[in-house]
Chains A and B, each alone.
Chain A
Amino acid sequence: MPAHLLVVEDDQLQQAVLKSAFERRGYSVDVASDGLTAVRMLRAGGYDLALIDYHLPEIDGFASARLLRDLMSEEDRPRLIAVTATSDSLSLRDASSIVFDAIVPKSLELPALFSIVETHLRATAGGQTANGAEAAWRELGLAGLPAVMMLPLPSAAQTHLLRHYFDLSGCREPEAVLLLGPEAIRDAIGLRVHSPRFTLPIIDLTGCLAGADAVFSATDRSTWNAVASAIIRFAKGRTRLGGEASNAADLETRLLSYVFLSGRPLQPAADFASRECVRYPGFFPHVETRPAAERLASRGLLERRFFERFHVCGHCGSFRLNVREECLSCHSANLRDVAVIHHYRCAHQAPETDFARGIDLICPKCRRQLNHFGRDYGKPGKTVVCGDCGACGSEPAIGFACLDCGGRTAGDAAEKLDIFSYSLTIEGNAVLQRGALMIEEPHATKPGVA
């Protein structure tokens, strides 16, 4: 159940902004436009926290809060936060530090306001989950709830749930990126390629996005461990990365830095949704990742290890090929195996279909009927017959039909491409840390082509 807030503000525009912002963040929000109404609503109960403007009609925010202190017990009373454009005047009132749990200026940005509200909510019964999560993260070596940025922007319900486990305030520099759905993959790639935050670990909250640095599930404690490890590993790595690598704009340096930060090789995984059939981890643009890794390997900064060999469509470059047996004459795959009959008397050999006349077998050469297998005739083997052109032969050809463009590539004409995993070399490690990574022009050849 979402925390229930009361915004006490006489200005309708500010009311609307605060209500909308807190509702989008997952809270249930009511508004009151004057001090007396606010006192009545808060006394009726059900609120976890009230944001009270100091400057209010009827009775001002200070008087309203003092009244609530008098009328409600400490256990029943919600947290009271003063929001004021003129905090100086409020702080001059001696008792303000007693009646309010916090005083914040209106000049405070929304993320900072969220942070303060959430800090106070954690102190209430509704904040127990957050307290538990905070303790759990600490046990795993983090300072508290990890500060995160989320892709895409979360729904109100997601925010409400996630704020128990992560610091969503936006007040601290993020330590990780949370991926909330597959629609965010494009944003994640954009982050790796263009954002100065490309050195953050990406955490998958869906459990089905291949290539993330860790998966998080609130109910699976092992995933907490993986997330904490990733955050710590990336944070330590960032401190060791040279300035040039940390601020790199080019894909190769970013990719090399990622291998360094993630502490694991770029290990391809099967991905039949893509034309390349494999995907490297880390959410780099997969078409460009392999060539970039190859360039780094050719400079000795990454080390290749063979993963798989693919054949490539000669028309569109796709790896998604259907390997098939084809007719030697017309390249149709409409082939069938037919037994070969050897007529002992006239020595004629032909496919069984040439002998078949209804249920009888008649030799097409001598016109005699074949009655007894083993005496009149034998079946020494099989032949392949094309259902389209009728050609037959002992062996079919091998060809590839592209599942993407439909083009046909002959088996012996298809280009072969070796796919590798890539791990950081000692030289790559050293280059990153001394920050002297000069990226050369891409090679003109096609490395990796077998």
Chain B
Amino acid sequence: MQSVLTPAPSASGSEFPILDLAAFERTSGFLDPDAIRSYMQTLIDRSDLLLREIRDQAPAAAGTGDLVESAHALAGSASLLCFQRLAFAARSYEQAVETGSPEIPARIAQLVTAIEASLPEMQSRASR
């Protein structure tokens, strides 16, 4: 049995790079450049959608299923494409909802910040 567990996340997330460039270069070496651009565009669309969903939600509905599903999907894809800060923020939010943490509003704010910080890099990668 081999288990490789993720490190325990810290409270902030700003210690993670927006894009882990070295990891991204290692990963992108195994992918078609055209496909990478398409993945980036999907990641942008998902980020935009999640931002809209967050902004359209009433504060009381911050832990609803749709939002968590969107954040879960974004966490996985951002992680796979090495957008570490966004992956961490989305996962932190997801965990806060799962555990009923009172930090949900703070995690949402962190997620919004991470999305806004990551979008320019995604757009840059999508246009290469």
Q: Residues of A with Cβ closer than 8 Å to B?
A: 11, 13-14, 16-18, 20-21, 24-25, 53, 55, 85-89, 91, 97, 100-112, 114, 116, 119, 153, 170
The 6 tightest CB contacts between A and B, nearest first, are A102-B2, A105-B6, A13-B77, A21-B30, A97-B1, A103-B3
Mark B1-44 against chain A: 1 for CB-CB distance below 8 A, else 0. Answer: 11111100000000000000001001101111001000100110
Q: Quick one: closest A residue to B94, CB to CB? A: A86
Q: Residues of B with Cβ closer than 8 Å to A?
A: 1-6, 23, 26-27, 29-32, 35, 39, 42-43, 46, 72-73, 75-77, 79-82, 84, 87, 91, 94-95, 98
Q: Which residues of A contact B31 (CB under 8 A)?
A: 17, 20-21, 24
Q: Quick one: closest A residue to B32, CB to CB? A: A20
> Is there an interface contact between B29 and A88, defined as CB atoms closer than 8 Å?
no
> Is there an interface contact between A11 and B5, defined as CB atoms closer than 8 Å?
no
> Is there an interface contact between B82 and A87, defined as CB atoms closer than 8 Å?
no
> Is there an interface contact between A86 and B95, defined as CB atoms closer than 8 Å?
yes
Q: Which residues of B contact A91 (CB under 8 A)?
A: 3, 5
Could you pull out 19 A-B pairs where Cβ atoms are within 8 angstroms?
Answer: A11-B73, A14-B76, A16-B35, A20-B32, A24-B32, A86-B91, A87-B5, A87-B6, A88-B5, A91-B5, A100-B1, A102-B3, A103-B3, A103-B5, A107-B79, A109-B23, A109-B27, A111-B27, A112-B4
> Is there an interface contact between B72 and A55, defined as CB atoms closer than 8 Å?
yes
Per the bound structure, the CA–CA distance linking A11 and B70 in Å amounts to 10
> Is there an interface contact between B35 and A20, defined as CB atoms closer than 8 Å?
yes
Per the bound structure, the CA–CA distance linking A107 and B84 in Å amounts to 8
Decide yes or no: A105 and B82 within 8 Å by CB, A24-B31, A170-B26 being known contacts.
no
Decide yes or no: A110 and B26 within 8 Å by CB, A16-B35, A17-B81 being known contacts.
yes
Interface centre among B1, B82, B87 (most CB of A within 10 A): B1
> Is there an interface contact between A85 and B76, defined as CB atoms closer than 8 Å?
yes
Per the bound structure, the CA–CA distance linking A105 and B87 in Å amounts to 12
Per the bound structure, the CA–CA distance linking A51 and B35 in Å amounts to 21
Interface centre among A53, A88, A107, A119 (most CB of B within 10 A): A107
> Is there an interface contact between B26 and A106, defined as CB atoms closer than 8 Å?
no
Per the bound structure, the CA–CA distance linking A242 and B128 in Å amounts to 41
> Is there an interface contact between B5 and A16, defined as CB atoms closer than 8 Å?
no
Q: Which residues of B contact A86 (CB under 8 A)?
A: 91, 94-95, 98
Interface centre among A17, A87, A170 (most CB of B within 10 A): A17
Minimal beta-carbon separation of B108 from chain A (angstroms)? 18
> Is there an interface contact between B27 and A104, defined as CB atoms closer than 8 Å?
no
Q: Quick one: closest A residue to B82, CB to CB? A: A109
Minimal beta-carbon separation of B77 from chain A (angstroms)? 4
B42 partner, pick from A13, A21, A55, A111, beta carbons under 8 A: A13
Inter-chain CB contacts under 8 Å: number: 98
> Is there an interface contact between A106 and B79, defined as CB atoms closer than 8 Å?
yes
Minimal beta-carbon separation of A102 from chain B (angstroms)? 4
Per the bound structure, the CA–CA distance linking A110 and B79 in Å amounts to 11
Decide yes or no: A11 and B30 within 8 Å by CB, A16-B35, A101-B2 being known contacts.
no
Minimal beta-carbon separation of A138 from chain B (angstroms)? 21
> Is there an interface contact between B26 and A85, defined as CB atoms closer than 8 Å?
no
Q: Which residues of B contact A16 (CB under 8 A)?
A: 35, 39
> Is there an interface contact between B4 and A14, defined as CB atoms closer than 8 Å?
no
Q: Which residues of A contact B1 (CB under 8 A)?
A: 97, 100-102
Minimal beta-carbon separation of A20 from chain B (angstroms)? 6
Per the bound structure, the CA–CA distance linking A100 and B3 in Å amounts to 9
Per the bound structure, the CA–CA distance linking A103 and B75 in Å amounts to 18
Minimal beta-carbon separation of A196 from chain B (angstroms)? 14
Per the bound structure, the CA–CA distance linking A21 and B39 in Å amounts to 13
Q: Which residues of A contact B5 (CB under 8 A)?
A: 87-88, 91, 103, 105
Q: Which residues of A contact B2 (CB under 8 A)?
A: 101-103, 116, 119
Q: Which residues of A contact B43 (CB under 8 A)?
A: 13
Per the bound structure, the CA–CA distance linking A91 and B30 in Å amounts to 29
Interface centre among A13, A86, A105, A112 (most CB of B within 10 A): A13
Minimal beta-carbon separation of A178 from chain B (angstroms)? 15
Q: Which residues of A contact B27 (CB under 8 A)?
A: 21, 109-111
Minimal beta-carbon separation of A10 from chain B (angstroms)? 8
> Is there an interface contact between B76 and A106, defined as CB atoms closer than 8 Å?
yes
Q: Which residues of B contact A110 (CB under 8 A)?
A: 26-27, 30, 80
Per the bound structure, the CA–CA distance linking A47 and B114 in Å amounts to 39
Minimal beta-carbon separation of B125 from chain A (angstroms)? 14
> Is there an interface contact between A17 and B80, defined as CB atoms closer than 8 Å?
yes
Minimal beta-carbon separation of A153 from chain B (angstroms)? 7
Besides A17-B35, A102-B1, A102-B3, 17 more A-B contacts (Cβ < 8 Å) are: A11-B76, A13-B43, A20-B31, A24-B31, A53-B76, A85-B72, A85-B79, A87-B5, A88-B6, A97-B3, A102-B4, A103-B5, A106-B79, A109-B23, A109-B27, A116-B2, A119-B2
Minimal beta-carbon separation of A197 from chain B (angstroms)? 15
Q: Which residues of A contact B6 (CB under 8 A)?
A: 87-88, 105, 107
Q: Quick one: closest B residue to A111, CB to CB? A: B26
Minimal beta-carbon separation of A149 from chain B (angstroms)? 10
Q: Which residues of A contact B30 (CB under 8 A)?
A: 21, 24-25, 110-111, 114
